[in-house]
Amino acid sequence: MEKGNILSCRILIIILTAIIMAACNDLDTDKSDNNISLYYQSTDSLNNRNLAFAEKTLRQLDKTADQDSNIYYLSQCLKGKMAFINNDTEVINNVRTLLKNFLKRNNSSHNEIKDVIRVEYYSIEGLYWIKCVGNTDSTYKYFNKAYMLAKNTKSIPNSSMVNIIINLADTYKQTGHYDQAIIYYIEAAKKAQREKQNYNNVIAIYMGISIAYTSMGDFKMSEKWWDKSGQYWSHMNSNDRFIYLNNRGHDYYQRKQFERSRYYLEKADSMLSDKPEDEWNKMFVRVNLSDVYIQLGMYDKAEAMIHVTEAYFQKQKYLIPLHYLKTQRMTLDQKRRGVPSENYLSERLIADDLDNVTGVTELKRLRLQALINHYAEIGDCRRLYSAGETLRILDDSLRNNNMRMRFTTLVKDYEHDRRLLQQQRQIERHKQNFIITAMSVVFLLMFIIVSTLVLLLKRRQRKIKETKLLKKLMVMRMEIVRGRITPHFIGNSLNIAMNDQMAGKPIDLTPLVKLLRMSTETADTLFVSLDTELQFIDYYVTVMSSSLGPDFKYNKNIERDMDTTHIMLPSMTLLTFVENAVKHGLSKLPDDVEKTLKINIRRHDKGVRIEVIDNGHCNKDAQFSNTNTGLKVIRQTLMLLNENYKEKMTFGVGNIESGHGFMSWLYIPDNFTFTNY
């Protein structure tokens, strides 16, 4: 009997102990949740520059830190974020070290508060690497870690999740991945919609998207998002207004609307005139403003502003703006005196500058353009060619990269619109079901008729929208394909001129300059008139004729009453035929043999047939070799254009049956329309 009582007492004690431990755990959990909530209220106050509330919270967390070490390290996270606002690098590094060691000791330990500390540590590390060091690779690493962990941590509030996504989007933007930046900004915008009256995140998101579109050169979209950002002007703090004015001024500068750019930049400069604590931002906007003054011919203002900003950044030992200012001085000297100062054009200094600005693409473009202008002035063809090639490669890379990113964002927009349309159809379906159950038979019949008409109209509108989008995607594909051929022609033409110069032959650069100018003007043009294409060929043949000898003859036979100004064709198609005739045919003939090149244009069936004939030795395999860039581009272009037409454009190459020589031809149907692209 006594043994039974003892056993019952033991069981009762165990049950009571379990209940007490559970209650303590619940109490600890409640305390942790309260502290986490208080911490995030403080971080939100920091975003609004309310340091007083954050300092009060820090003192409150420090009081309870002795009872729970997790609370101590959470307070260190808050201290680290406050240090970024105060620009206190020493405190930032101390906090980083403390948090790193703590998380290293607790590597395998996971609970809500520890995971919150991990997320905040990754965010602090990301801020450190971008603000204090400028290392975007490490910044992306830590912000991405914060994002991935925060998605699976329940205690992270929506407002902080928005900030984490914005940080990641900003990193993509700073590394030039503007398409990815826009994707994350849109994700942040969806979450920010839940935060009523929280304009800070919305402003940051909208301006981030605007800057990304400006950087991609999509000014139609950047204008749309800058206008959206401007609607929140009354809710912006002084820093937001500075970012808006400075970057919108840069947007207009990129469009070459320098007066409008000047308006926004001068407004940003005047806003900071009485704020010595914002000296850094003021000097940066003045670097941009001096460039605008140069473009507008306000040279005295530009020189005075360059003098002030150079002195400031030399004192700060910050190289990037100094390189921009040096390029501005070169440009200013060229515009004032025709030739830049030798202090800025020594080859050693130029080489050092370009090495020191790795990754700053816009600065390289400006510096290379200044060099090209200088070499053109002094007639240094070798260095002019070298600088021009470098600039061409850089521009091609930028153009292709921007086109790829714009294509990605276009596809994402299409997918987003499609999802919205699906959601809209679902909502409409629910409304219809509700009305059907509530209305009489007569009203039900009327509703069915009306709703059917509405659905048919929307389906038609949606189909029109999808068709336009598909055409736009097709044009972008064609631009990518067409863009591959222009560098090929420029390189061949320049090589001929260079070889003639090295051989001591007298050269006339006028046809070459016209050829280069015309190739640049038509590089982004998909279609040209036959008259324009023939002018291009005339310049090209003039440039190449010196390499073909004195016996070279060039003839054009155009059928009477044929108006070449109204016949359209894909740009550089005939020029490709002519170049192949010279390269694979005429250039292979002995010097003492007469070389002829003929272009015949005549009516054929229900269209126009254009033939390029030479008397050289060539074969079809050489023309269709894998290295023949021109014919590959023509084939791909015609495939894209012929997709929607019964009557097709065709081309071909082959040996002439009646004698020696080779012929390339293009057939264009009369009813082929180019205006749809």
Q: What is the pLDDT of residues 15-28, one digit of tens each?
A: 555 555 544 444 44
pLDDT single digits (tens) 59-97 = 777 777 666 778 888 888 888 888 887 778 888 888 889
**pLDDT > 80? residue 417:** no
Q: 215, 245, 217, 218: which is closest to 229 by C-alpha?
A: 245
Highest mean pLDDT among 197-211, 474-488, 503-517, 632-646: 197-211
Q: What is the rounded CA–CA span in Å between residue 191 and residue 255?
A: 33
What is the predicted pLDDT for the residue at 230?
Answer: 92
Domains 239-317 and 509-669 share a fold: no
Name the superfamily (CATH) of residues 239-317: Tetratricopeptide repeat domain (1.25.40.10)
Beta bridge mates, 197: none
Q: What is the rounded CA–CA span in Å between residue 94 and residue 82?
A: 13
Q: What is the rounded CA–CA span in Å between residue 35 and residue 39?
A: 6
The structural domains of the chain, with segments of one domain joined by +, span: 1-156, 157-163+175-236, 239-317, 394-482, 509-669
What is the predicted pLDDT for the residue at 170?
Answer: 87
Count of Cβ atoms closer than 10 Å to residue 651 Cβ: 19
Binning pLDDT at 50, 70 and 90, where does residue 321 land?
A: confident
| Residue 232: both structure tokens together | 């929140």
Q: What is the rounded CA–CA span in Å between residue 175 and residue 600?
A: 52
CB 242 within 8 A of CB 209: no
pLDDT single digits (tens) 529-554 = 999 999 989 988 888 887 787 888 99
**pLDDT > 80? residue 195:** no
Helix (H) or strand (E) run with residue 483 in it: none
| Residue 392: both structure tokens together | 């061409």
* Mean pLDDT value across residues 286-303: 91
**pLDDT > 80? residue 213:** yes
In the Cβ-directed half-sphere of 227, how many Cα atoms lie within 13 Å? 6
Counting residues of the chain whose pLDDT is more than 70, the rounded percentage is 74
pLDDT single digits (tens) 259-274 = 999 999 999 999 887 7
What is the predicted pLDDT for the residue at 313?
Answer: 85
Q: What is the rounded CA–CA span in Å between residue 408 and residue 217?
A: 14
Q: 188, 290, 286: which is closest to 245 by C-alpha?
A: 286
What is the predicted pLDDT for the residue at 590?
Answer: 84
* Mean pLDDT value across residues 301-317: 88
**3.20.20.10, 1.10.275.10, 3.30.565.10, 3.90.1300.10: which CATH number matches 509-669?**
3.30.565.10
pLDDT single digits (tens) 108-121 = 777 888 888 888 88
Return the amino acid letter for 530: L
Burial (0-12, 13-18, 19+ Cβ within 10 Å), 417? middle
Q: 144, 77, 161: which is closest to 113 by C-alpha?
A: 77
Helix (H) or strand (E) run with residue 484 in it: none
Q: What is the rounded CA–CA span in Å between residue 427 and residue 433?
A: 10
Cα dihedral 452, 453, 457, 460 sign: positive
* DSSP codes of every residue in 184-221: HHHHHHHHHTTSTT-HHHHHHHHHHHHHHHHHHT-HHH
Cα dihedral 234, 240, 246, 247 sign: negative
Q: What is the rounded CA–CA span in Å between residue 87 and residue 85?
A: 6
Helix (H) or strand (E) run with residue 481 in it: helix 441-482
